[in-house]
Structure 1
Amino acid sequence: MDLSWTVVVNFVTLYGVKVLASLLIFWVGKKIASLLTAIVVKGMRKSKIDETVTSFFSNVVYFGLLVVIILAALSNLGINTTSFLAVLGTAGLAIGLALQGTLSNVGAGILLVFFRPFKIGHSVQIAGENGTVEELNLFSVVLKTADNKQIIIPNSAVIGKNITNFSAKPTSRIDLVFNIGYEDDLRLAKETLQSLIEAEDKVLKEPAPLVAVSELAQTCVKLTVRFWVQNEDAAAVSFSLTEKVKLTFDEKKISIPHPPLNPQTY
């Protein structure tokens, strides 16, 4: 019993210390990896490198360092990392075949960073979803919607779909349509809309705004108001102008016909 107990104590002492040392290597290494990643990110931001590239590269650096730390911890346990890497490579091939979708996300992420169809902070439509780009990582693009929801889209879905970037150009064209009755004064309505547009400070002078008859519909005449604004002013100007048109039309007795209601069947 004494000999057996001595063997157990020696085994625990030898391998217990190695296990603790390996855990310590992993813990300290992870802290260092986080610190080095933060330094890299700070340096890239100081160099004014695009935030999309910074976000993606920081993920690559962190996970790369993490792999090195894990191998160091395993080596400390006495595991032959060379053989381990060979086994890992074989296993990696099998895992890679099983995780083709995940790996395709990584490849798509690299393409997104290289071609940069959008940047962090851009307003976009991706895979049918609208929002502001918050993050681009190894596996996905993170969007924040206008109502403060978070949407995570796999990179492979992003690269394989149409991407509409609303922030790529500094200005946007706004088209608003207003209806008037056939009995209303068409010239007065057009002059009223033109004066309201010209009174909006945030409407750009070039290209020149346009007011035109776009359709003679069954129950009304449709007037299209077309103008250009800075991207950040688009919503505010549209809301403001729509309200002013309603109030001014009421003052000048210009009607805004309602669509005919479908008769109810009882």
Structure 2
Amino acid sequence: MAITDHILDLLVTYGFQVLGALAILGLGLVLARWVGNALQRVLQQQDMEPPVRMLLVRLARGLVLLFVLLTALEKLGVQIGPFLAGIGVVGLGVGIAMQGVLSDMIAGLTIIFTKPYRVGEYIELIGVEGQVAAISIFSTTLAHADRSRVVIPNRKVIGEVLHNFGDVRQLKLTVGVAYGADVNKALTVVRGLVLANPRVLKEPVPLVGIAVLADSAITVSIQPWVKVADYLPAQAELYRTIVEEFRAQRIDIPFPQQEVRLLGPS
């Protein structure tokens, strides 16, 4: 009987606390799932990459579950003060050891929400340029035309001067025309070739005009806009068609020359 009475006393003393803690845990699981789903719906409207979105959703669920667990432990009579102090000490040590990683994470969140650049845009940053291939919570990956990739830690991005070209770039081509050639004819030919190229955008309007009166030639500047992916192909195509059409139209492209005069004795 003594044992039975003791068990009954324990059930009366702690039973309601255990039931309360279990109820808190159950409600906490439901709340964590609801918070995660709500946050996921919000983040889906932010044009965010799926891995980053899932990381933020899991982080939010984890914080809710941690709060619920601490509440349940307190309901059981566990002193959570020392537990929180221990978590703080461990967190401080981990933070110091992973300072660079945490800096990358904070910078990554800043990039994701402020959107200084997006995937597919062409940027120049800290002496490196390329098309943005991926933005993760820790780094930004740039793709080059030679199929190489540059991975930049996100902490290097924040606070630096960023040149964002967007999803279009302006070609800056030049071609020399002989001083004896018909300049107006040359400009007309170049404008026609630029507008006929399917890679060249109609808006903004391509710029074609005389840039410099050089020593051996009249330099014509050609500045059309193209998609980032068409930058190098458009440049090669325009140079090829200009050379071919100039030859067909008998427009000379001069090369640097020097005239040397030998003066005899007077």
Q: Would the TM-score normalized by the shorter structure come out above 0.5?
A: yes
The answer to whether the 8 Å contact 1:196/1:244 transfers is yes
Deviates more, 1:238-247 or 1:220-229: 220-229
Deviation at 1:141, TM superposition (A): 1.6
Deviation at 1:63, TM superposition (A): 5.9
Question: What TM-score results when the alignment is normalised by the length of structure 2?
Answer: 0.64
**Count of aligned positions:** 214
2:148: which partner in 1? 149
1:102: which partner in 2? 101
The answer to whether the 8 Å contact 2:172/2:224 transfers is yes
Matched, 1:216 2:218: no
Structure 1 or 2, whichever has the larger Rg, is 2
The answer to whether the 8 Å contact 2:48/2:112 transfers is no
2:129: which partner in 1? 130
Matched, 1:226 2:223: yes
Output the CA distance in 2 between the equivalents of 1:135 and 1:115. 16
1:177: which partner in 2? 174
Q: Secondary structure at the match of 1:157?
A: helix
2:252: which partner in 1? 255
Output the CA distance in 1 between the equivalents of 2:94 and 2:249. 72
Deviation at 1:152, TM superposition (A): 1.7
> Deviations 1:26-76 (Å, cap 9, x if unpaired)?
xxxxxxxxxx9xx97xx6699564134x4323223446778979xx9xxxx
Q: Tell me which amino acid in the other structure corresponds to 1:203.
A: V
Matched, 1:194 2:194: no
Q: Tell me which amino acid in the other structure corresponds to 1:257.
A: P
The answer to whether the 8 Å contact 1:51/1:119 transfers is no
Query: In 2 relative to 1, CA 229–149 (structure 1 residues): closer, same or farther, beyond 3 Å?
Result: closer
Deviation at 1:140, TM superposition (A): 1.6
Aligned pair partner of 1:57 in 46, 53, 60: 53
Deviation at 1:101, TM superposition (A): 3.1
Q: Secondary structure at the match of 1:58?
A: helix
1:159-178 aligned within 5 A? 159-167=158-166, 171-178=168-175
Query: In 2 relative to 1, CA 201–140 (structure 1 residues): closer, same or farther, beyond 3 Å?
Result: closer
Q: Secondary structure at the match of 1:244?
A: helix
Q: Secondary structure at the match of 1:142?
A: strand
The answer to whether the 8 Å contact 1:211/1:226 transfers is yes
The answer to whether the 8 Å contact 1:142/1:152 transfers is yes
Deviation at 1:176, TM superposition (A): 1.6
Q: Tell me which amino acid in the other structure corresponds to 1:215.
A: V
Output the CA distance in 2 between the equivalents of 1:61 and 1:48. 14
Query: In 2 relative to 1, CA 122–230 (structure 1 residues): closer, same or farther, beyond 3 Å?
Result: closer
Query: In 2 relative to 1, CA 124–48 (structure 1 residues): closer, same or farther, beyond 3 Å?
Result: same
Output the CA distance in 1 between the equivalents of 2:53 and 2:122. 22
Deviation at 1:98, TM superposition (A): 4.7
Deviates more, 1:197-206 or 1:43-52: 43-52
Query: In 2 relative to 1, CA 59–150 (structure 1 residues): closer, same or farther, beyond 3 Å?
Result: farther
Output the CA distance in 2 between the equivalents of 1:133 and 1:230. 14
Output the CA distance in 1 between the equivalents of 2:233 and 2:42. 32
2:10: which partner in 1? none
Structure 1: which 5+ residue stretches go unaligned? 1-35, 73-79, 262-266
Output the CA distance in 2 between the equivalents of 1:95 and 1:257. 67
The answer to whether the 8 Å contact 2:122/2:228 transfers is no
> Deviations 1:194-222 (Å, cap 9, x if unpaired)?
22223334434444333211101122210
Output the CA distance in 2 between the equivalents of 1:196 and 1:136. 38
Deviation at 1:81, TM superposition (A): 11
Query: In 2 relative to 1, CA 234–55 (structure 1 residues): closer, same or farther, beyond 3 Å?
Result: same
1:13-32 aligned within 5 A? none
Q: Tell me which amino acid in the other structure corresponds to 2:56.
A: V
Output the CA distance in 2 between the equivalents of 1:193 and 1:231. 22
